[in-house]
Chains A and B, each alone.
Chain A
Amino acid sequence: NAGVTQTPKFRILKIGQSMTLQCAQDMNHNYMYWYRQDPGMGLKLIYYSVGAGITDKGEVPNGYNVSRSTTEDFPLRLELAAPSQTSVYFCASSYQGPNEKLFFGSGTQLSVL
């Protein structure tokens, strides 16, 4: 099993550009999450999904959008990138919820210049 696969691993964007971070899991997990990790700040939840067709905002959703058309895929869209979105982004999944073990992707280092 591949687990949780994130692409790309690194990306540099110019201010105002848009991009999509891809996330796929092959464990048939219901729950999927997007976190951002800023230096010294731990992980903050951007968006999450409890199943295909269902998404909800986390702590820091502004500037991002998500969709969940299939159980496997949970892409994160950045519109009009800003320097404040420079961060490491992690996708994660779990079967029933965040009270269980989360499986993480390897992260995407994003710089907005």
Chain B
Amino acid sequence: AQTVTQSQPEMSVQEAETVTLSCTYDTSENNYYLFWYKQPPSRQMILVIRQEAYKQQNATENRFSVNFQKAAKSFSLKISDSQLGDTAMYFCALASGGSNYKLTFGKGTLLTVNP
């Protein structure tokens, strides 16, 4: 079985500051993929960033970057220069399962960016 744990139900940050959201996971597979999805108040789920486990280099997408610690099974999301539009629920997700991938979501972290 695979699990995803997000230990921070809610976080807040001031506009223009940096914030890090935590995620830990567990899987017995060697080949897997990790994701951060964003769900703003509009409810639309949007992919923020994707990391392939076999790649040691941390993925980045503009102001969003991850700290992927494979041995520790940790996958945190760093948001730099936070903007009001970053206010959303953030879900960490894991896809593993060999040739039959299953995607498991964490329970989410509600991030509020304050002006």
Contact = CB atoms under 8 A, between A and B. Distances in A.
Interface residues of B, number: 22
B105 A90 contact: no
A10 to B, nearest CB: 11
A108 to B, nearest CB: 10
Interface in B73-99: 91, 95
A2 interface: no
B96 to A, nearest CB: 8
A75 interface: no
Contacts of B50: 101
B64 interface: no
Interface in B31-51: 32-33, 35, 37, 42-47, 50
Contact of A102 (B43, B45, B102): B45
A13 interface: no
Given A40-B9, A101-B50, A90 B45 contact: yes
Interface residues of A, number: 18
B43 A42 contact: no
Contacts, number: 45
Contacts of A88: 43
Contacts of A92: 45
Interface in A84-103: 88, 90, 92, 97-99, 101-102
B101 A43 contact: no
B105 A99 contact: no
Considering the complex of A and B, which 6 residue pairs feature the smallest CB-CB distances, nearest first?
A98-B103, A104-B45, A42-B105, A99-B95, A43-B105, A99-B33
27 contacts: A33-B103, A40-B108, A42-B4, A42-B91, A42-B105, A42-B108, A43-B105, A44-B105, A45-B103, A88-B43, A90-B45, A98-B95, A98-B101, A98-B102, A98-B103, A99-B32, A99-B33, A99-B95, A101-B35, A101-B50, A102-B45, A102-B47, A104-B44, A104-B46, A106-B42, A106-B44, A107-B43
Interface of A: 33, 40-45, 88, 90, 92, 97-99, 101-102, 104, 106-107
